[in-house]
Homo-oligomer: A and B are copies of this chain.
């Protein structure tokens, strides 16, 4: 793997996520027994004491809003939420690491980082994985590698994914051909919330599909190489679609900024379509916002459940839209130079 500047393609590459699927040897994948499930949670918790400061949450103790907000931040999956009785998650202070217990697999370790930082994220999650392996006997086969509940995760148990912002390839329609090409490489392109979800706000996840018969390093290298190629294609297309139509692109960015800073109510989807235009304008230097990361953070912050979490109460849909408009307006006004 080449060492690249993680801020290369800033804006286009939002986040890196590495996920490892692990199971405890000598247990069935689907644990029906509450005591055993709790035992695994405790062992994982004990294993992680030396790694970092983690908070342990049992699904059964959390409100639906909190669970939903964690899911919006990709810290937990729908699968974990549905395992109400046995599911748990360990999350570190800055939310860069989450370890789900009793999800589809017994253990799912995740590391998140800004930008394209596959190697760094992999190294960090490997340390977590090593600590867990010291305390728990993980199901591993010399031929197959790590054993997982679903055969698609067998082998490395690893999914390396990169969240990308691809407005030009989307608007030119070239994304369709790209999805096919990427599939031929054994990778997949999904919307923001996994399989079947839409690519709202021009956001996509690129990840490896194949986990068996390849090394972790090979997966990381292939994902990185593909992401960089997509970025190159996106930048060429941005040049053709937006830079060459500078005034039109600038106009759309500024009008969207005007809507977002003046709105009284703002649904998430209306927000997403406008913030994408603002982000694009900022990336192209057409609107005076240099902190692209602040825009990406805002996108997470104003998701429905996260909004409710911030205001510690159940908000009606209309009140959510009122609060969203306030937060978005204040944030954008603050980050504009």
Contact = CB atoms under 8 A, between A and B. Distances in A.
A265 B262 CA distance: 18
Contacts of A265: 247-248, 251
A337 B64 CA distance: 44
A228 interface: no
A112 interface: no
Question: Most chain-B CB neighbours within 10 Å: which of A254, A255, A257?
Answer: A255
A233 interface: no
Interface string A248-279: 10110011011111111100000000000000
A284 interface: no
Nearest to A286: B264
A322 interface: yes
Contacts of A248: 265
Contact of A254 (B251, B254, B263): B263
A interface, over-half SS: helix
Copies in the complex: 2
Contact of A264 (B254, B262, B318): B254
B250 A255 contact: no
Interface residues of A, number: 18
Contacts of A318: 247
Nearest to A254: B262
Interface in A188-203: none
Contact of A247 (B255, B257, B261, B322): B322
B247 A258 contact: no
Contacts of A250: 264
A259 B262 CA distance: 9
Contacts of A251: 263-265, 325
A282 to B, nearest CB: 14
Contacts of A254: 262-264
Question: Most chain-B CB neighbours within 10 Å: which of A250, A257, A261, A262?
Answer: A262
A287 to B, nearest CB: 9
A261 B254 CA distance: 9
Nearest to A246: B264
Contacts of A264: 247, 250-251, 254-255
A318 B260 CA distance: 25
Interface in A157-210: none
A262 B277 CA distance: 13
A110 B325 CA distance: 48
Nearest to A249: B264
Interface string A221-259: 000000000000000000000000001101100110111
Given A247-B318, A250-B264, A255-B258, 7 more contacts: A248-B265, A254-B262, A254-B263, A255-B264, A258-B261, A259-B259, A261-B262
Interface of A: 247-248, 250-251, 254-255, 257-265, 318, 322, 325
24 contacts: A247-B265, A247-B318, A247-B322, A248-B265, A250-B264, A251-B263, A251-B264, A251-B325, A254-B262, A254-B263, A254-B264, A255-B258, A255-B259, A255-B262, A255-B263, A255-B264, A257-B258, A257-B262, A258-B258, A258-B259, A258-B260, A258-B261, A258-B263, A261-B262
